[in-house]
Structure 1
Amino acid sequence: MKTNLSHEFYKMIHQRSSWVAVIVLFGLMLYSATPTAYITKNLISQGFGTGQWVIIIMITLSANFIAMELKNNTMTTLLYKSPNRWGVFVAKLIVLIVYSIVLLIAGFIFTLIIKAVLVNSHFTWQSIYHQHTLFNSLLLNLLGVGIYLLFIITLSMLLISLFKSSAVVIVIGLFIGFLGANISALIMQTFPGIKSIIAWNPLNMINIITQLSNSRVIQSSALTNNELIIGNLIYVVVFLLIGILVFRKISL
């Protein structure tokens, strides 16, 4: 397992896309900030779109992390040298999770930089209070993104093992990310009698991104903060177990 981890970390560090992604994240955050005539507190608390941009980046990287090796036939050598396939799968998963944390930290730092440059703030006791509240909201939003990233990364790893196509995984991931919450809300409105049951569907789990800092989201998610956290973690375990089973039987 240690050998697998060292190999995967080495590949992630030396991949050009890993470094380019950080630059792309900063550019996308600037894109979210500069076109607006007035930067709102909500935009700052969301880290200038850090959540959505990191999710898109990680869906793409997760899909390509295995797809490239399958395409280049390097997966055969990797599995031959490893004593078990599940160790390879878990090692890749751990590296992706660590990298997603790095992106979130980078997003947090970039948020502070962009805010300092583009938002003028005056030193008053009232401003200090608002800054503290804004800071807490930002951290809660990033925490929610971090939890959901566990969900989307394990799902992406499962899907790429099933379909072996990064394009399919990216399309499904983006569909869930951009339309999942709306579709989930529509289904719950259509069947209000079993809303409490439908609320546990995987499409609804993305609400964790904003609900931790905005209690009004509970009206659409129909789940409490703790329930959303538990729901995401349950799906992570399910996707992980199924992903390992599929990966162990993957044909090269």
Structure 2
Amino acid sequence: MQTNIMMELYKFWHQKTPYYGALALLGLMSYSAMTTKVSALQLVFEFGAVQWIVIILIAVGSAFFAMEYQNHTMLLLVYKQVKRRVIYGTKLEVILLYGVLLTVIAMLFTFVLKFLTVGQHYSWLTTQIDHRAMITVLLINVLGTLIYA
């Protein structure tokens, strides 16, 4: 199973699609930060990354699966593997890892955008939303994004 995941990771990262997905996420978050008034809610929802990560995962994941059929390598994988469940399971695990990576990138880029847009106006430790610190709400939203993805 470990060799299957390593093989799928190798194929996944040698495509251009994952890099385009990460760049699209950063671009959409930047666009959201520039076009709207930054508020505490926008900060804890990572400048809309909660919505965009799922859409990017769908696009990148479908391109990843379609690549196997376009290059006719799915037949070879089915021939080598006994169960199709293993083939599709490892591909879904790679997409899940990519979702975790996108979520971490979005959270780090949220800190950068907060610094660039509002500076020290909002503190992550103040209780503004639902009587919780903003960083706590941000981490809850990150966890929700991972579950949703």
Q: State the 1:51 CA deviation.
A: 0.8
RMSD, aligned CA: 2.0
Given residue 16 of structure 1, which amino acid in structure 2 is its aligned partner?
Answer: K
Alignment correspondent of 2:67? 68
1:4 aligned residue: 4
Specify which of 126, 129, 132 is matched with residue 129 of structure 1. Answer: 126
Give the drift of 1:128.
4.2
2:49 corresponds in structure 1 to: 50
Q: Supply the distance in 2 between the matched residues of 1:109 and 1:128 (Cα, whole angstroms).
A: 17
**Which runs of 5 or more residues in structure 2 are unaligned?**
none
**C-alpha separation in 2, matches of 1:41 and 1:98:** 29
Q: Identify the residue that residue 146 of structure 2 maps to in structure 1.
A: 146
Deviation at 1:129, TM superposition (A): 2.3
- Is the contact made by 2:124 and 2:133 (CA closer than 8 Å) also made in structure 1? no
TM-score of the superposed pair, with normalisation by structure 2: 0.89
Contact 1:121–1:127 (Cα < 8 Å) also in 2: no
- 1:26/1:107 contact within 8 Å kept: yes
Relative contact order, higher structure (CA 8 A, sep 6+): 2
The share of aligned pairs that are identical, in percent, is 36
**Paired position in structure 2 for 1:91:** 90
Q: Deviation per CA, 1:185-234, whole angstroms, max 9, x where unpaired?
A: xxxxxxxxxxxxxxxxxxxxxxxxxxxxxxxxxxxxxxxxxxxxxxxxxx
Distance in 2 between the 1:31 and 1:130 partners? 27
TM-score computed with the length of structure 1 as normaliser: 0.54
Counterparts of 1:62 and 1:43, CA distance in 2: 27
Q: Equivalent residue of 2:47, what SS?
A: coil
- Name the aligned partner's letter for residue 148 of structure 1: Y
More helix by share: 1
- Unaligned segments of structure 1, at least 5 residues: 150-252
How many residue pairs end up in the alignment?
A: 146
Deviation at 1:80?
1.3
Bigger radius of gyration among the two: 1
**Residue 64 of structure 1 aligns to which amino acid in structure 2?**
A
CA contact (8 A) 1:12 1:18 kept: yes
